[in-house]
Amino acid sequence: MSDSDFAATEAGLAAVFAHAGVDIPPERLAENYELFASTLALIRQASPPGLGETVPAVAFKASWH
Amino acid sequence: MELYELPLVEVAEKIRTKEVSPVEVTQSSLARLEEVEPALTAFVTTTPELALEQAKLAEQEIGEGKYRGPLHGIPLGVKDLYDTAGIKTTSSSAQRANHVPSSDSASVARLYEAGMVLIGKTHTHEFAYGATTPTTGNPWAPDHTPGGSSGGSGAAVGAGVVHVALGSDTGGSIRIPAALCGTVGLKPTFGRASRVGVASLSWSLDHVGPLSRNVIDAALVMAAMSGYDRRDPATVDLPVPDMVTGIDAGVAGKKIGIPTNYYTERVDPEAAAAARTAALKLEELGAELIEVEIPMAEHVISTEWAIMMPEASAYHMDALRNSPEKFTEETRALLEAGAAALATDYVNALRLRTLIQAGWAEMFSAIDVLLAPTVVAAATLRSDPFLRWPDGTVEGATGAYVRLSAPANITGLPSLSVPAAFTSDGLPLGVQVIGRPFAEPEILQVGYALEQSTDVVGRIAPVMHRVA
């Protein structure tokens, strides 16, 4: 599946929320499904193929000084 | 003319020369607060007793020859995300309705050290997670949004209650309300100032900085807030430059990047025209305009949200699991969505961030600063927080406003928003000047040059006239 046609299913979301320990009753999930699915699709767009050897940007510069 | 109407530097000079007392300045600020607050609801908590106590102390110190500098005795608003010892700090959320910190955030401590006087805590979009601040009105039209998330700070400065109020900026939350409320807003370089004691939205995108009436105010306050703090591992151990001396150096010979993409797409014609006019003014002042293409523009928005959302959900995970009903519905749903993001998607967004940062570094090899509109359009109605584009698409206000400010969060580059124009409806618009890492003095110089060449910077919204 390419990054552009990703769409979370309601059942898939229910499983992820259960795994995350976030309690979302079925009616709430149904009510917000469009928001959840479109948001996760947007997030998936930041995971395109071809990133190769690129390392993550690490913003923090931890220091003991 | 009332004291609150004078520019900060003039008030500071009157305080320094003992022509006026910090107590009089504070009283003027409190009187203006009383006048406009019913129409705006800019503040969660006001602190008049503390303010007068701090002002009396400042008066005493100055009387004894212990003048601390131009911020001594100047009133300050602080976004309710910043901890203030002994003063309720709610993040405009029921989750923290009774939260009273025991110590000051690093920025507030530094500004107290500079002698500033706390007028109160300003409203934020709940936990900074949005760009409309629904609790608060725009000082130029209270039925319109002040923007956000630092909307209370924008409203308080725009209405003249304070010359300076603190904001935080994860996707534009200083610059958006600055632009929509007609104030200056400075998001510094990532690592320039400590975020210790400020509730986080996204650790790797959060910045702290001021909203202010004039450009020089932002320079004074940013310099006072800046510096290494071992408690914030993002801060960089670099000397804090003098951001005021040389602010009037002008822009002759400066290479100003003018974007040919991204900042030009789905932008209201009046917002685009304001940026064009600002660019032409800089050219008249001797700057060179250079067209540039924004690299990897198609990945900016997804990268911003893919980093911000999981970080926000991680920060709020305990509350999301244990007391989700205390969030507003909007915040709760966003936090839930972020909790469902894959770790691999988050890490890949950080990898895209590496590429975007590299692309911007390359783009900056040809320019000194980038000039662009701060926001895609002026303030929407509070009752209808959407933008409608000619192609028929409808865009939520938060998503729309964040579009043009997010690049400076992803890259960590400093960005200064300066009022640039008023729409035909009388609403403010801003332009932003984005600089190289730690080049705050340079973007302040450009902003100052723009300020000097227009009459739209430093205005105070009448507020009550519009309400009447």
In chain B, the largest separation of any two C-alpha atoms, in whole Å, equals 65
A37 touches chain B (CB under 8 A): no
Say yes or no to pLDDT of B468 above 50: no
pTM for this predicted structure = 0.97
Q: Which domain holds residue A58?
A: 1-65
Give the number of A-B residue pairs with CB atoms closer than 8 Å.
113
Secondary structure, 3-state, B150-168: CHHHHHHHHCCCCCEEEEE
Say yes or no to pLDDT of B462 above 70: yes
Could you tell me which of B343, B309, B341, B344 has the C-alpha nearest to residue A13?
B341
- Taking residue B270's Cβ as centre, other Cβ atoms within 10 Å add up to 17
Mutate to test the interface with A, among B190, B302, B307 (most CBs of A within 10 A): B302
Write down the pLDDT at residue B85: 98
Report CA B4 to chain centroid distance, whole Å. Answer: 20
Write down the pLDDT at residue A7: 87
Write down the pLDDT at residue B293: 98
Could you tell me which of B342, B314, B397 has the C-alpha nearest to residue B131?
B397
Closest chain A residue to B233 measured between Cα atoms?
A: A62
Q: How confident is the model at residue B259 (pLDDT cuts 50, 70, 90)?
A: very high
Write down the pLDDT at residue B123: 98
For residue A39, give both structure tokens: 């948001």
Q: What is the pLDDT of residues B161-197, one digit of tens each?
A: 999 999 999 999 999 999 999 999 999 999 999 999 9
Q: What is the pLDDT of residues B340-354, one digit of tens each?
A: 999 999 999 999 999
- Over pLDDT 90: what percentage of chain B? 99
Q: Is B173 exposed, middle or buried (0-12, 13-18, 19+ CB in 10 A)?
A: buried
Torsion of the alpha carbons at B236, B173, B419 and B245, rounded to the nearest 10: -20
Write down the pLDDT at residue B270: 98
Rounded to an integer, the average pLDDT of B16-40 is 98
ipTM of the predicted structure? 0.91
Say yes or no to pLDDT of B465 above 60: no
Q: What is the pLDDT of residues B405-416, one digit of tens each?
A: 999 999 999 999
For B390, left (φ over 0), alpha (ψ -120 to 50), or beta? Answer: alpha
Quick check: B132 and B171 in contact, CB under 8 A?
no
Terminal Cα-to-Cα distance of chain A (whole angstroms): 47
Rounded to an integer, the average pLDDT of B51-55 is 98
Calculate how close chain A gets to B337, using CA atoms only, in Å.
5
- Over pLDDT 70: what percentage of chain B? 99
> Measured between CB atoms, which of B236, B338, B354 is closest to A57?
B354
The rounded mean pLDDT for chain B is 97
Say yes or no to pLDDT of B52 above 80: yes
Quick check: B406 and B352 in contact, CB under 8 A?
no
Report CA B203 to chain centroid distance, whole Å. Answer: 17
Question: How many separate domains does chain A show?
Answer: 1
Say yes or no to pLDDT of B261 above 80: yes
In B194-235, the DSSP E strands lie at 207-212
Say yes or no to pLDDT of A59 above 80: no
CA quadruple B46, B50, B55, B61: dihedral positive or negative? negative
Write down the pLDDT at residue A61: 56
Report the C-alpha gap between B283 and B252 in whole angstroms: 8
Say yes or no to pLDDT of A2 above 50: no
Say yes or no to pLDDT of B146 above 60: yes
